[in-house]
Amino acid sequence: MSTSARLATLVIFVFAVFVAVPVLIGLTHRTDFYYTLSSVALLAIASGGVWLTFYIGRINIGQGAYALMGGYVSAILVVRYGVSFWITLPLAGAFCAAASVLIGLPILRLRGVYFAMVTLVLTEVVRLLALALPITNGAKGMVSLPPPGPISLFGLTLVPSFDTFAERNEAFYYLSVAVMCVCFAALYRLVHSRVGRLFVALQQNEELASSMGLNVPALRVLAYSISSFFGGIGGAIFAAIAQSVYPSSFTVADSVNFMLNCFLGGLGFVFGPMLGTLVLYFGWDLLFQAGQYQLLIYSGVMIALMLVLPNGLLSIRPLNFRKRVRPLIWRRS
């Protein structure tokens, strides 16, 4: 795409999420969509992190661990120490990033399904920790979190307290999509930077990359910690919107879903996870009238999509002239 076309797409997208969607919701009175779409935005942020680990060639089924961690960090700081939600948000992300450096250093040496499995186990470990640690309030979870307060700078209120909104979820919607836009913009910028090209080198062949003088372990940990940062941010806002967090808030099923979102959207596209999350999460909601056949229809559609568009939904766009070759990357050598 040309630069102007790209800019136009961006403007249309921003207009759509910040103006068109709220106006449509206002017209149709479907205020329940504020929560659903906020969820989509937050889950998309976490999925975006997973996508980045795919980008360096790792199948990550452990994002639920960091989302849960982020939720708890924010909730504990808010409830036990009275810290403002707005400060806990970056702290939650930073905590997850720091944790992921410690965890990532040993486990990023693993590849393929081994890495996938160890991250899956990580999700379970964090859930069990949340149940066992005294600070997390164990099985009862952290409940009744206050909604985010105002942000003021030099006496000027930049963001009003969420309590003042008639429809609190509308405020959360703006927050969620704003953070989502920032995160995906950052992701896009990262992928198209020099570091991004190094990540591709990692994806294709780590040995080769290493022999060319790249610090492969550092690059891997960098990508993984950014990924976990996204997970932590998503989890923290989710705790705020739900006003609660439990050991079961993010489980293995969520970790698997984050990964599936990436597959469905398309691993080759930065915005794949966003679209994948929208279809998978929103699709389930839309099918709720199918009652007991909900799961059957949902999974049937999923299989059909996979058969028709195995490279993700975004691969359908007409600009995709790439030759259909089966690359040797990702095959067992």
Partner 1 sequence: MARTTLPFRTALFGFASAAAIALNSGPADAANKTLNVGFVGVTSGPAAAWGTSNVRSMQTLAAWLNEKGGVKIGEDDYKINVVTFDDQKDPKRAIAGMEKMAQEGIHYVVGPNVDDGAAAVRPVAEKSGIIYFPYAFPKELYTKPASNAILGMVANYQSAPAIYKYLKEKRGVKTVAFVAANESDPLSQRDGGVAAAKALGLTVVADRDTYENDTRDFTPVLTPIVKLKPDLLVLSGVAPANAPLLIRSARELGYQGLISTETAQDAKVLEEGAGDLANGFISVGGASTPEIRSKTMEEFIDRYTKMFNEYNDESNTKVYALEYIVDTLKANPKAIDNVEEYKKTIDTFSAPNLYLKGENVLRYVGMTSFGQKRQIAVPLVVNEYKDGKFQTLFVADVD
Partner 2 sequence: MEQVVANGLYLGAQYALIALGLTLIFALMNVLNFAHGQMYVLGGFVTYELYGQMHLPFVVALAASAVTLAVLGGLIERFLFRTVIRRSKREESTMLLAAGVAYFLDALILLLFGEKQRGVPKIVSGVWVSDNLIMPYDRILVGFLAVLFIAAFILMMRYTKPGRAMRALAQDRVAAQLMGVPVEFYSLVGFALGALLAGLVGGLLVAITGVNAGIGGPISIKAFMMVMIGGAGVISGAIAGGFILGMLESVGLSVLHSYGDVTYLVIFAALMAFLSVRPNGLMGKPWG
Residue 49 and residue 67 in contact, taking contact as beta carbons nearer than 8 Å: no
Q: Site residues for partner 2, window 23-82 (CB under 8 A)?
A: 59
Q: Site residues for partner 2, window 101-160 (CB under 8 A)?
A: 106-107, 109-114, 116-118, 120-122, 124-125, 128-129, 131-132
**Number of residues forming the site for partner 2 (CB under 8 A):** 52
Closest distance between partner 2 and the C-beta of residue 251, in Å?
11
Task: Specify the residue, 287 or 309, whose C-beta has the smaller distance to partner 1.
Answer: 287
Task: Specify the residue, 95 or 115, whose C-beta has the smaller distance to partner 2.
Answer: 115
Task: Specify the residue, 31 or 315, whose C-beta has the smaller distance to partner 1.
Answer: 31
Picked from partner 2, partner 1, none, the partner binding residue 118 (CB below 5 to 8 A depending on kind) is partner 2
With CB under 8 A as the contact rule, the residue among 226, 237, 260, 314 that binds partner 2 is 260
DSSP state of 166: S
Q: Site residues for partner 1, window 227-286 (CB under 8 A)?
A: 238, 242-244, 246-249, 251, 253-254, 284-285
Picked from partner 2, partner 1, none, the partner binding residue 15 (CB below 5 to 8 A depending on kind) is none
Task: Specify the residue, 38 or 63, whose C-beta has the smaller distance to partner 2.
Answer: 63
Residues in touch with partner 2 (CB under 8 A): 59, 106-107, 109-114, 116-118, 120-122, 124-125, 128-129, 131-132, 252-253, 256, 259-260, 263-264, 267-268, 292-293, 295-296, 298-300, 302-303, 306-307, 310-312, 324, 326-327, 329-333
> Interface with partner 1 by CB under 8 A: which residues?
30-32, 35-36, 39, 128, 131, 138-141, 143, 168-169, 238, 242-244, 246-249, 251, 253-254, 284-285, 288-297
